[in-house]
Structure 1
Amino acid sequence: MPIGCVYTHIDAFHHTRFEFLLSTLYFCNPMQKAYFPLLMVVLACTACEKEITVDLQSKEDRLVVEGIIEDGRFPMVTISRSLNYFSKITPAQLLESFVHDAVVTVSNGVRTHQLREYRTDTTNGIALYFYSADTAQFHTAFTGQPGNSYTLKIEVEGKTLHAVTTIPEPKLRLDSMWWMDSGNSSTEKARVLVKVTDPPERGNYVRYFTSRNGDRFLPGLNSVFDDHIVNGTTFDVPLDAGVDKNQKIDFDTYGYFKKGDTVTLKFCNVDHNTYDFWRTADFAFTATGNPFATPTRTQGNVQGALGYWGGYSVTYKTITIPK
């Protein structure tokens, strides 16, 4: 029975066994409040080949890193411990899972900045902890810039963790965005489409999020794509509405927007490691419960821990779908 790691997203009071990582990160000044989801790794999934016994309860906790840097934004990192599959998820347990007092540094090759730990409170009164730019040390702080690589180093609990990411140049270019009727009997549903131009050079990757009427950005159920087939062309592609994977997905309405919605697209060029992480995570999520699916290990890039450190080159576009 092959074993593959499955990442589970746990957001305040919502816990779904097979959710993944962060459904979005709202970047802000470190002194402002924001919504910060929490990455947890809780179980191994199986496929039917040969039966073995797996003692999930004896699985040791592992460090889990969730980090991101966008162009024009400060880096942000959360560090937590994995939760046992059989754990009852409570606000107190979530609070206890955060790892404090880590030495977290990010380098752009010229400057190295030590991040500071902050606390933010959600609307439900749950405290969340994250590391971001130290406002008392702004002379070494920096924001992300396309074309640069960023090294993350974490020293915690006697361990040293490393990861490298790149914010790529926005080579996959978002040209335009529009809407069309859903094509079924519903007069309320609408589809959003985009026109994208890809350069002749291969190896470009995108991850996208959508926001509806000013709500938080949510990724698509399959949130990444590459230029393997469309290399060097200008092409049209429909984009499904982003989803909150903490909630049950209604596949009767999945992918559609409503007439009257104002839709903002967050279109992100990402590097290959970030693409690979989300490609495997999205696939594992959609394959959960399918006995014929191939087991997939979510491919993180943090040496010494579970998780992910990713860079995003971001473009925004907004349209309003008339009623």
Structure 2
Amino acid sequence: MLLLHPVGQFRFAILGFCGFLLATSCQQTVEVELPEVDDLYVIEGTIFENEPPLVFVGKAQGYFDAVNASSIADSFLPGAEVVLTIEEQVYPLTALCTGELPEELLEEAASLLGFSVELLSMLDLCIYTSLDPNAIGQVGKSHYLDVTVNEQTMTAVTMIPQPVPLDSVWWQTPGTQDSLGVIYGAINDPPDLGDSYRWFAQRTNVRPSWDPLSGQVKDANYVAPLGSAFDDAFFNGLAFEFSVFRGVAAGSTAWDDDFSESPEAGYFKLGDTVAVRLCSIDRAVFQGIRSYENLILSQGSPFALPANMTSNVVGGIGLWAGYGIAQDTVICTE
């Protein structure tokens, strides 16, 4: 017969009681009533030098809302009133929705918007633009945007700065790489402090016959990599040289854009023809893009502080961005 010492019996009782608490606490259901909030609307728009505006108007989703093709499509609103003003000249913008486009125009829309044809065929995305030849980005001028949706008004303004030309631009393989490289550029920054820039690149050559995507242009549109925005805080008024890796287009399923599988992801390849743009942007646009990229880069970090993206939209959130263009072409050769 097994006998427990009184102290042992006490310890056994304590352990049993703690086990009971753990078992019951794991079964407790906590319900939190989230307060109702007003709809929050979003503007995402760009206007490049000598190009028409492209403006998305949407509605922000709740943190716990389901995310699927239907919810994403519902976030883009077709019934807004959108007006562009440049030096008191008013240009109403028209909504063009991909769901209304014939199949032969869907590929052109995919190239214009920077999305894949497959993605646009799944989603009915609406974008606001103008066919007026005068409704284009103009260097040195402010571009005002007024949006009204469901009786709520949003406003934003962006200025397109004078672009700073690229002194030189070239492709080079780093380290031991023999056919994969990055693009280098050099500029002379103007003497005024606060100049801001954003980099874009587009591979314009067609994929070869052995490629699974044979016959397609490598990049349908210009792509900005993470870290694409920078300012002259450390090189104001100086000659400055920089290098840039290749970015990945949103929603891309190309094999050479897969960082987990392809050694070519992030690199430009020997034989590529690359159109590059160094765009000058105003300070508010730089701050918005930099805050967005910082949020993307810090996702999943337990040490990152919670933060919101900086916005230049009054009455909503988002970014209305103007770009002055300095453009060149790089042939990736040894």
Q: Confirm or deny: 8 A CA contact 2:166 2:278 kept in the other structure.
A: yes
Correspondent of 1:160 among 149, 153, 156: 153
Which stretch of the first structure deviates more once superposed, 63-72 or 288-297? 288-297
2:127 corresponding residue in structure 1: 130
Q: Residue 68 of structure 1 aligns to which amino acid in structure 2?
A: T
Distance change (3 Å), C-alpha of 1:54 and 1:181: farther
Counterpart residue type for residue 127 of structure 1: D
Say if 1:58 and 1:183 are closer, same or farther in 2 by CA, change over 3 A: farther
Distance across 2 between alignment mates of 1:211 and 1:54: 48
Secondary structure of residue in 1 paired with 2:70: helix
CA shift, 1:59, in A, is 6.1
- DSSP 3-state at the match of 1:282: helix
Is contact 2:156-2:320 (8 Å) kept?
yes
1:89 corresponding residue in structure 2: 67
Question: Counterparts of 1:93 and 1:181 in 2: how far apart (Å)?
Answer: 43
Match of residue 259, structure 2, among 250, 271, 275: 250
Alignment of 1:174-193 (within 5 A): 174-184=166-176, 186-193=177-184
Considering fraction of residues, name the structure with more strand.
1
User: Which letter maps to 1:131?
Assistant: Y
- Picking from 216, 222, 236, the partner of 1:217 is 222
SS at match of 2:294: helix
In the TM superposition, 1:224-303 aligns within 5 A as: 224-244=229-249, 246=251, 250=259, 255-303=266-314
Q: Which runs of 5+ in 1 are unaligned?
A: 1-52
Tell me the residue number matched to 2:4: none
Cα separation, 2, equivalents of 1:100 and 1:180: 45
CA contact 1:104–1:114 (8 Å) conserved in 2: yes
| Aligned counterparts of 2:246 and 2:287: Cα–Cα separation in 1 | 21
State the Cα deviation string for residues 250-273 of structure 1 (Å, max 9, x = none). Answer: 286554212122122121100001
CA distance in 1 between partners of 2:138 and 2:247 (Å): 26
What is the Cα deviation at residue 110 of structure 1?
2.7
Change (3 A) 1:108 1:218: same
Partners of 1:240 and 1:254 within 8 A in 2: no
**Offset from partner CA, 1:203-262 (integer Å, 9 cap, x none):** 100011111235122111111010111111112111121123556862865542121221
Distance 1:110 1:150 in 2: 10
Q: TM-score of the superposition, structure 2-length normalised? A: 0.73
* CA 1:296–1:54: 2 relative to 1, 3 Å: farther
**Is 1:196 aligned to 2:196, yes or no?**
no
Which of these two proteins has the greater Rg computed from alpha carbons?
Answer: 2
Q: Per the alignment, in what secondary structure is the counterpart of residue 183 of structure 2?
A: strand
Letter paired with 1:319: V
Name which of 321, 326, 333 aligns with 1:310: 321
Contact persistence 1:61–1:84 (CA under 8 A) = no
Q: CA RMSD in A?
A: 2.5
